[in-house]
Structure 1
Amino acid sequence: MSIELSVVLISKNQDWNITRLIESVLSATKEIQSREILLVDSASEDQTIELAKQYPIDIYRLQPGSHLTPAAGRYIGFKHTHGEFTLFLDGDMELCPYWLSKALDMIKKRKDVAAITGSRIDLPLATTSDEKMKIKQIANDDGKEVEKGGGAAMYRRATLLKIGQFNPYLHSDEEPDLCLRLRYSGYKILKLRQTIVLHYSDPSSKHATKIARWKRKLYMGAGQNLRYNFQTEFFWPYLKERGFAFAPIFAILVGILATVWYAKTKQSLPLFLWFSTFVLFFLIEARRKGSFYAAVGSLLHRILIIDGTIRGFLKIPLDPKSYPEDFEVVQVYTNKGEIS
């Protein structure tokens, strides 16, 4: 019997949420007879694997020495599942009711649609079950075309086999890369108004969150994609959509040139104008954001993006097909309902 739906979950040290995620997926897919669920774990050091083993799902564990990225988990997950459609979810999410049935109906009817997602609700990590809002079913939800699917989205397998799936070597921005290739190959990406997931995470506005993302190399993806696509037809479209680091890079270069000019000529006007423009920009940003703290966060974010983009672009690109399949098969849930 062919498999209608594959659900690929990725995780790394997320024992605080893994049971909630798996139970939400089992609940949402209980009416789908031909489905498979695979958890690809990135060498977790907590109880993620032990908790996941309590459920009727397949579990693969990437080895600690591997190149561990969210994209790698998706790459391995897609390669080792077989569903006509593949739903990808992150380990810090909870799949919401109503979305899956709508999405399956839509993608089956619309052959021009290669990917479909939905609205996402971000919640603090400490949110309890009692604090969550009740998800309501939305009527007359035909979706709208969007540029990318995000971390929670369902894809048509045949299309990904045709144009290529996730690049496992990308530290981030794997979804914009894949979705750009889909769109420029003539396919559409839809977003339903119906909520697809609750996403539990630290507030992105916190300076510590930004620095933590930088330490995990999550700002390098844009630069990597520019390097990968440097001599392809996707370079300029990607630069147009995702090259938001280049304006700050240009501003920094102007500042460097103004400083060099002052050092050589002792003419301070260019440097004064550059510095005045920077201060003015910061004050405008503080007013727009509502506080100096938020403006500092915005400046920090831009600096980290610049750093990540440059480092990502300088990283030597590797063929996605060369990614080593270095993983342990922790658990296999057979069609007979047995765990081995």
Structure 2
Amino acid sequence: MSVSIIIKTLNEAERLAATLESALAAVGPDGEVIVADSGSTDGTIEIALRYGVTLVQIAPGEQPSCGLGPQLGYQYSKGDYLCLMDGDMLLDPQFLAKAVAFLQANPSVGGVGGRVVEMNLENLEFARRMSRGGAEYNAGPVDRLNGGGLYRREAVAAVGYLSDRNLHGYEEFDLGVRMRQAGWGLYRLDTPFAQHFGYRMNAYALLLRRWRSKYLRGTGEVLRAATGKPHLWSLLRDIRELKLWAAVYAGALALLLVLLLVPNKGLALLLCVVAIAAVIGIMSLKHRSLSLGLYSVTAWLFMAAALPLGYFKPRRDPAAWIDSRVLSKADA
């Protein structure tokens, strides 16, 4: 049974060499490593060419997104199993063997992951991600494989495509919900999958970057993708952030009504400030950090504002061929 490791990249020159070395060491002689590039301009291409892997890149005019990279690699892959990872990860050398063995022993499971170890906890976003946890990060059956994992090609073929090119976020959840709707299970092993290094920048700068790159529109986009589909109700049930966004909208409406209806505008403004401070205080106590509490509330506002922008964005056929070019082939 062969494995195709698909590494999605967009300006990953800083860490790509180490990522490729970890992937090549893990995949073995019967596997392949595919770098699926979304238009890098920082030396990523030159680094990938040095390692003799299959390198493909989107054509001019294609718009990069989190969902496009995996699908780009998938359309060139040949392996019986597909391992998805980012260009700033180090793949654990033991993971593939354990994951393949698990899938072979459990034919109803379509994908398996492991522990993703966040290495950049100085960034508030990654620290917040680790502190809030979530059932999808626990060992055992899960509803998605956030951070990457190993998928059975047969399961991907059964659901039509690997990753939705229209999604700037939530691409792993979208794949998971489609697989589960088709009867495939997902499982996270209690073993390391990869180390993830992430962006080394201020969390607020990262938030602005994700707004400009449309990453924050992922929630709205995945809702749009599921609208009218059998898995819509599973998605509404399992994306816990939707309840949070509803609370943010309700809170914003309540503050607006206070500002409009309370005759004493000074008092109205004071009530709004106290309410916002209380929410920040509650989140600070939850995270045991004032900086994390403030950042969490700021991130909520950005994400809630991005949701309708994602939902009403036009979609392209997610199964259609992605216009691209092959820059190098591993067997050339």
Task: Name the TM-score, length of structure 2 as normaliser.
Answer: 0.86
Check 1:279–1:124 CA distance in 2 against 1; reply closer, same or farther (3 A cut): closer
Which residue does the alignment assign to 1:293? Answer: 291
CA contact (8 A) 2:2 2:31 kept: yes
Q: Give the counterpart letter for 1:279 in structure 2.
A: A
Which residue does the alignment assign to 1:189? Answer: 186
Secondary structure at the aligned position of 1:194 is classed as strand
Q: Which of the numbers 17, 20, 25 marks the counterpart of 1:19?
A: 17
**Structure-2 separation of matches of 1:248 and 1:240:** 18
Q: Give the counterpart letter for 2:61 in structure 1.
A: G
Mark the runs of 5 or more structure 2 residues left unpaired by the alignment. Answer: 123-138
**Structure-2 separation of matches of 1:319 and 1:325:** 10
Task: Using the TM superposition, give the Cα deviation of residue 202 of structure 1 relative to its aligned residue in structure 2, in angstroms.
Answer: 3.5
Which residue does the alignment assign to 2:218? Answer: 221
Which residue does the alignment assign to 1:85? Answer: 81
Which residue does the alignment assign to 2:164? Answer: 167
Q: Give the counterpart letter for 2:231 in structure 1.
A: F
Taking only the aligned residue pairs, the percentage that are identical comes to 24
Which residue does the alignment assign to 1:44? Answer: 40
**Larger helix fraction of residues:** 2
Which residue does the alignment assign to 1:139? Answer: none
Which residue does the alignment assign to 2:146? Answer: 150
CA contact (8 A) 1:67 1:169 kept: no
Which residue does the alignment assign to 1:68? Answer: 64
CA contact (8 A) 2:52 2:328 kept: no
**Structure-1 separation of matches of 2:231 and 2:259:** 36
**Structure-2 separation of matches of 1:298 and 1:17:** 28
Which residue does the alignment assign to 1:248? Answer: 248
CA contact (8 A) 1:205 1:294 kept: no
Check 1:79–1:276 CA distance in 2 against 1; reply closer, same or farther (3 A cut): same
Q: Which of the numbers 282, 287, 304 marks the counterpart of 1:284?
A: 282
Task: Using the TM superposition, give the Cα deviation of residue 330 of structure 1 relative to its aligned residue in structure 2, in angstroms.
Answer: 0.5
Q: Give the counterpart letter for 2:303 in structure 1.
A: I
Q: Are 2:328 and 1:312 equivalent residues in the alignment?
A: no
**Structure-2 separation of matches of 1:172 and 1:27:** 29
Secondary structure at the aligned position of 1:80 is classed as coil
**Structure-2 separation of matches of 1:66 and 1:85:** 27
Secondary structure at the aligned position of 1:168 is classed as coil
Which residue does the alignment assign to 1:129? Answer: none
Check 1:302–1:154 CA distance in 2 against 1; reply closer, same or farther (3 A cut): same
Task: Using the TM superposition, give the Cα deviation of residue 153 of structure 1 relative to its aligned residue in structure 2, in angstroms.
Answer: 0.8
Which residue does the alignment assign to 2:52? Answer: 56
Secondary structure at the aligned position of 1:45 is classed as coil
Q: Give the counterpart letter for 2:103 in structure 1.
A: I
Secondary structure at the aligned position of 2:215 is classed as coil
**Structure-1 separation of matches of 2:257 and 2:45:** 53
**Structure-2 separation of matches of 1:267 and 1:226:** 40
Q: Deviations over 1:71-124 (max 9, x none)?
A: 111111112212111111111111111111000100111011100010011113
Task: Using the TM superposition, give the Cα deviation of residue 188 of structure 1 relative to its aligned residue in structure 2, in angstroms.
Answer: 1.1
CA RMSD, Structure 1 to Structure 2 (Å):
2.4
Q: Give the counterpart letter for 2:174 in structure 1.
A: D
Task: Using the TM superposition, give the Cα deviation of residue 332 of structure 1 relative to its aligned residue in structure 2, in angstroms.
Answer: 1.1
**Structure-2 separation of matches of 1:261 and 1:101:** 64
**Structure-1 separation of matches of 2:89 and 2:224:** 31
Which residue does the alignment assign to 1:259? Answer: 259
**Structure-2 separation of matches of 1:293 and 1:22:** 35
Task: Name the TM-score, length of structure 1 as normaliser.
Answer: 0.84
**Structure-2 separation of matches of 1:297 and 1:87:** 33
Q: Give the counterpart letter for 1:172 in structure 2.
A: G
CA contact (8 A) 1:14 1:91 kept: yes
**Structure-2 separation of matches of 1:204 and 1:186:** 41
Mark the runs of 5 or more structure 1 residues left unpaired by the alignment. Answer: 127-142
**Structure-2 separation of matches of 1:271 and 1:229:** 40
Task: Using the TM superposition, give the Cα deviation of residue 64 of structure 1 relative to its aligned residue in structure 2, in angstroms.
Answer: 4.1
**Structure-1 separation of matches of 2:268 and 2:182:** 46
CA contact (8 A) 1:42 1:64 kept: no
Instruction: Give the stretch that moved more between structures: 207-216 or 99-108.
Output: 207-216
Q: Give the counterpart letter for 1:251 in structure 2.
A: G
Q: Give the counterpart letter for 1:299 in structure 2.
A: V
CA contact (8 A) 2:96 2:150 kept: no
Task: Using the TM superposition, give the Cα deviation of residue 152 of structure 1 relative to its aligned residue in structure 2, in angstroms.
Answer: 1.7
Q: Deviations over 1:171-218 (max 9, x none)?
A: 111101110111222221111111110101237983222222222211
Q: Give the counterpart letter for 2:189 in structure 1.
A: L
